[in-house]
Amino acid sequence: MKIPVVRQILSANDQIAMENRAAFDAAGVFVLNLMASPGAGKTSVILATVDRLPQGVRAGVVEGDVASSIDADTVAARGLPVVQINTGGSCHLDAPMIHSALPHLPLNELDLLFIENVGNLICPADFALGSNLNVVIASVPEGHDKPYKYPGMFAAATVVLVNKFDLQEVFDFDLDYFRRGVAMVNPDAPVMPVSCRSGAGMDTWVAWLVQRVARRERGKD
Partner 1 sequence: MHELAVTQGILDVVIEAAQRNGGRHITAIDLVIGDLSSIVDDSVQFYFDLLSKSTLAEGATLRFRRQAATATCADCQHQFTVGVPLVTTCPQCGSVRLHISGGRDFYVESIEVNDEDSGGAADPQRQ
d(CA 139, CA 39): 9
Q: How big is the site for partner 1, counted in residues (CB under 8 A)?
A: 37
Per the CB < 8 A criterion, the answer to whether 114 and 61 are in contact is: yes
Cβ of residue 151: shortest distance to partner 1, in angstroms?
A: 5
Per the CB < 8 A criterion, the answer to whether 129 and 145 are in contact is: no
Of 103, 160, 88, 153, the C-alpha closest to 124 is: 153
Span 100-159, contacts to partner 1 by CB under 8 A:
122-123, 126-127, 145, 147-152, 155
Span 179-198, contacts to partner 1 by CB under 8 A:
180-181, 183-185, 187
Cβ of residue 12: shortest distance to partner 1, in angstroms?
A: 5
Query: Considering the rule CB under 8 A, would residue 208 count as an interface residue with partner 1?
Result: no
Stretch that binds partner 1, among 89-97, 108-116, 132-140, 194-202 (CB under 8 A): 89-97
d(CA 95, CA 196): 29
Query: Considering the rule CB under 8 A, would residue 67 count as an interface residue with partner 1?
Result: no
Q: Which residues contact 87 (CB under 8 A, 6 or more apart)?
A: 64, 65, 66, 93, 97, 118
Q: Which residues bind partner 1 (CB under 8 A)?
A: 1-13, 89-92, 94, 122-123, 126-127, 145, 147-152, 155, 177, 180-181, 183-185, 187
